[in-house]
Amino acid sequence: MFIAGIAQHKRHLTGCVHDEQGWIASSRPHASASLRPAVRGATQVSLHVAPQKHGTRSRSLRLVVPPSRSLSGSGGSLLSLPRSLPKVRLRRIASSLCSPHIANPRAPPYKTAMETPTTTIRELDGYVGQRVTLSGWVYNTRASGKIAFIILRDGTGRCQCVLEKNENTEPFFDDLKKVSQESTIRVTGTVSKEERATGGYELKIDDATILHETHDYPITPKPHGVEFLMKHRHLWFRSHRQWLILRIRATVVDQIRRFFNDHGYVLIDTPMFAPAAGEGAQTLFQVDYFGDMVYLAQTGQLYLEAACMAHRKVYCFGPTFRAEKSKTRRHLTEFWMVEPEIAFCYLPELMDVAEDFVVSIAQRVLRDHREDLIELGRNIEDLEAVQKPFHRITYTEAAELLHSDKAKALLEKDLEEKTARVAELDTKIEELEEIAKGGGKQWKKDKAAAEAIECREERSELQEQVSNIPHHLELAAGFEWGSDLGGSDETIISRLHDRPVFVTHYPKQVKAFYMREDRDDPRVIEGFDLLASQGFGEIIGGSAREEDFDRLVARVREEGLPEHEYEWYLDLRRYGSVPHGGFGLGVERTIAWICGLKHIRETIPYPRMMGKFYP
C-alpha cells in the first residue's frame, strides 16, 4: 500500500492512497475503500510517500501494527495510526512526512511543521480551520481598497488567498496588494473551505514574504496568439490550461507503462540512430554519424521484432522522428510512440490488445482527471463511451462509407451549422467592439475587448473549416480504392462511429513493406489503423508482420529498399520465424483526443514541427 500524499491532522495522518496497481484514488487525500480489507488485520504495513507529490519528501517507513489495532479506515477518509505508537514518534513521522523538500540550502528556514505546517495547495483539505504556510507564484490579483484577492499557484494547484488590511497585515499589505503576476511569495494564514473560490479553498493571509518580484511577465491573463505563446513555451507551461494538459500527459504515460508491465511485456529500449528506414523513406531525418549517414529512428519496431523472438511479448517506448513536411494539427517531427510486439499473434488478437489498451488509458484519465477534463471543455460522456468492443471495418467498407449518403449528409450539416455560427459570431463581435469602444467602465471595456479577440479567433477557424468542406466532400465522393485515407477521410469515418473504429486490410501499396500479405486477398495486408472517435483520426497503426522469408524479400525489393541494410532483419525469418504482430500508438495524438484539443502542439512539453524548434 502506498500513500501518495499525506497531511498531519492532530494525531492522524490523512493520506491519498494507492495500492500495488498504482491507482491513486484521487488528487485529494482520501483512503480508498477498496484498500481497507487488505489493510485490516495486517501485521506489517509499509507506508511510502511517493516522490511525485510536489513538496513532500520521498521516504518509506514500516509500521508494525499489532493485530488487535490494525490500520483501518475511519470516517471513510482517515487512516488512523495505531494508538500503540508512541505519541512523540508519531509526531516525528508526521512532521517529517509533511515537511517540504528544500532543494536550495539557502532557502529561508521554514517554521517547524508542528507549529505552522508548510504545505501545498493539493493538501489543503487536511488543514481546514488551521493555519498553514504556502509558497508559490502569483497567478492573478484583484484588489480594491482594503482587500485584495491573490490567486496563488504552487505547482500542485491554485488557491485564492485573501488579504485584508488589519494590524497583522499592516507591515506588508501595500506591497503584497500590488504584487505583480508570477512574483514568488510565501504566505501564512488560515484555511477555509470556499466552494466558489478557485481551487475550492481560501487562505486568509496573516503573514507574508515576497521572495522575488517579477516585472512585465509576458503572458498576461489576456488572450495571446498561438505564435506568441509557442515562442514563450518555457513560460506558457505555467498557464493553467497547459498545466492541466501536461499533468494528463504524465498520467497517460504512466498508464502506458503500467498496462504493458502488468500484462507481462518486457521493456526493450530501441536505438535512436538507425542505418535504414523503418517506415516510409520520405520522412527520414539524416544525421552525419562520424562520416556515415544514419537516420533518426521513425519507429523502434524492427528492432523490437528481434527482441520479441527472445522475450515473446515486448514493448518499446520513446521519442521517434519524422521529417513531416506537413503543417497539420496532427503532425509533429518529434513525437512519442509506444510499440508492443507479440510473438504467436494474429491480427484479431492484436486488435483485442489495442482495444484493451486504449480503453485502459481513457478510463484511467477519466478516473484521475475528470474535473481537469471538464475544465478543458472535454465532453465526458463521449469519453465514457470508450468501451469495448470498438467498431471493426475493412478499408473497402471504409471506402464505401466515404461514397455514401451518410458521409455527404454529415458534411452538408456541418457546412450549414458552421455557416450559421459564423453569422452569429459576426453579430457578437460587432456588439463587443461597440462596448469596447464605448464610454462604460474600463474593466467592462477590457473584458469586451478580450472576448472579441476570442470570438475573432473562433470565427477565423470556422471560416477556414467552412471553406474546406466542399473540398472534403469532393475528396470523399471521389475516393478511389487503392489510395490512402486522407486526414479528412479519417475524420469522416471516425465521426460516423460513436466509438473508436479499426480500419483493417489496407491495400498493400499504401502500407509499409513489413506488413503481412493477406493470404486470401494478396492485394491487401493484415493490418489496421485505429481511428479515435469524434473525428480525431488515426492514433494507432499496426499489423501482423510478414513472417515468410521469400515474401518479405520480395517486398523489400519492390519498395526499392537497400537489402543489405535489412540482412539482420531477414535473419528473424531465417531462424525460428513465427506469426507475430504489433502496433504503435502515438502519445500526443492520443492525448489530444482524450483532452479534446484541436491541435497536437499543446500535448508535448516542447513541440517540434516544421520550422519550429525554439525554445
**Residues contributing to the site for ligand 4AD (CB under 6 A):** 278-279, 299, 301, 322, 324, 331-332, 335, 337, 339, 538-542, 582-584, 586, 588-589
In this complex, which beta carbon is closest to ligand 4AD, that of residue 199 or of residue 300?
300
Q: What count of residues does the chain have?
A: 615
When CB distances are held under 5 to 8 angstroms depending on the partner's kind, the choice from ligand 4AD, Mg ion, none that residue 126 binds is none
In this complex, which beta carbon is closest to ligand 4AD, that of residue 122 or of residue 545?
545
* CA 505 – CA 511 distance, rounded (Å): 10
In this complex, which beta carbon is closest to ligand 4AD, that of residue 30 or of residue 601?
601
When CB distances are held under 5 to 8 angstroms depending on the partner's kind, the choice from Mg ion, ligand 4AD, none that residue 136 binds is none
In this complex, which beta carbon is closest to ligand 4AD, that of residue 401 or of residue 604?
604
Q: What is the largest CA-CA distance in the chain?
A: 87
Chain centroid to CA 253: 7
* CA 513 – CA 554 distance, rounded (Å): 9
Q: Taking a C-beta distance cutoff of 8 angstroms, is the pair 483, 508 a contact?
A: no
When CB distances are held under 5 to 8 angstroms depending on the partner's kind, the choice from ligand 4AD, Mg ion, none that residue 372 binds is none
When CB distances are held under 5 to 8 angstroms depending on the partner's kind, the choice from ligand 4AD, Mg ion, none that residue 582 binds is ligand 4AD
In this complex, which beta carbon is closest to Mg ion, that of residue 432 or of residue 530?
530
Contacts with Mg ion by CB under 5 A lie at 541
State the Cα torsion 402-403-409-410 to the nearest 10°: 0
In the complex, what is the shortest distance from the CB of residue 296 to ligand 4AD, in angstroms, rounded to a whole number?
A: 12
* CA 524 – CA 510 distance, rounded (Å): 9
In the complex, what is the shortest distance from the CB of residue 586 to Mg ion, in angstroms, rounded to a whole number?
A: 8
In this complex, which beta carbon is closest to Mg ion, that of residue 27 or of residue 504?
504
DSSP secondary structure of 384-399: HT--SPPEEEEHHHHH
In the complex, what is the shortest distance from the CB of residue 592 to Mg ion, in angstroms, rounded to a whole number?
A: 16
Q: Taking a C-beta distance cutoff of 8 angstroms, is the pair 56, 101 a contact?
A: yes
In this complex, which beta carbon is closest to Mg ion, that of residue 315 or of residue 506?
506
In the complex, what is the shortest distance from the CB of residue 584 to Mg ion, in angstroms, rounded to a whole number?
A: 8
When CB distances are held under 5 to 8 angstroms depending on the partner's kind, the choice from Mg ion, ligand 4AD, none that residue 337 binds is ligand 4AD
* CA 152 – CA 132 distance, rounded (Å): 14
In this complex, which beta carbon is closest to ligand 4AD, that of residue 152 or of residue 332?
332
In this complex, which beta carbon is closest to ligand 4AD, that of residue 53 or of residue 331?
331
Question: At a CB cut-off of 8 Å and minimum separation 6, what does 579 contact?
Answer: 344, 345, 346, 516, 544, 547
Q: Taking a C-beta distance cutoff of 8 angstroms, is the pair 429, 452 a contact?
A: yes
In the complex, what is the shortest distance from the CB of residue 268 to ligand 4AD, in angstroms, rounded to a whole number?
A: 12
DSSP run (H or E) holding 457:
helix 442-477
State the Cα torsion 26-30-33-37 to the nearest 10°: 120
When CB distances are held under 5 to 8 angstroms depending on the partner's kind, the choice from Mg ion, ligand 4AD, none that residue 586 binds is ligand 4AD
Looking at beta carbons, which residue is closest to Mg ion? 541
Q: Taking a C-beta distance cutoff of 8 angstroms, is the pair 49, 16 a contact?
A: no
In the complex, what is the shortest distance from the CB of residue 515 to ligand 4AD, in angstroms, rounded to a whole number?
A: 9
Helices (H) and strands (E) in the chain, counts: 16, 22
In this complex, which beta carbon is closest to ligand 4AD, that of residue 335 or of residue 357?
335
C-alpha cell at position 213? 518580484
In the complex, what is the shortest distance from the CB of residue 125 to ligand 4AD, in angstroms, rounded to a whole number?
A: 38
* Side-by-side strand order, sheet with 286-289: 273-274, 292-296, 286-289
Question: At a CB cut-off of 8 Å and minimum separation 6, what does 263 contact?
Answer: 313
In the complex, what is the shortest distance from the CB of residue 283 to Mg ion, in angstroms, rounded to a whole number?
A: 11
Q: Residue 483 burial (CB < 10 Å; 0-12/13-18/19+)?
A: middle
When CB distances are held under 5 to 8 angstroms depending on the partner's kind, the choice from ligand 4AD, Mg ion, none that residue 202 binds is none
C-alpha cell at position 104? 536550495
Of 84, 63, 80, 62, the residue nearest 71 (C-alpha): 80
In this complex, which beta carbon is closest to ligand 4AD, that of residue 159 or of residue 353?
353
Residues 32-69 as b/e (b if ≥16 CB within 10 A, e otherwise) read beebbeebeeeeebebebbeebbbbeeeeeebebeeee
In this complex, which beta carbon is closest to ligand 4AD, that of residue 324 or of residue 546?
324
In the complex, what is the shortest distance from the CB of residue 226 to Mg ion, in angstroms, rounded to a whole number?
A: 26
In the complex, what is the shortest distance from the CB of residue 279 to ligand 4AD, in angstroms, rounded to a whole number?
A: 5
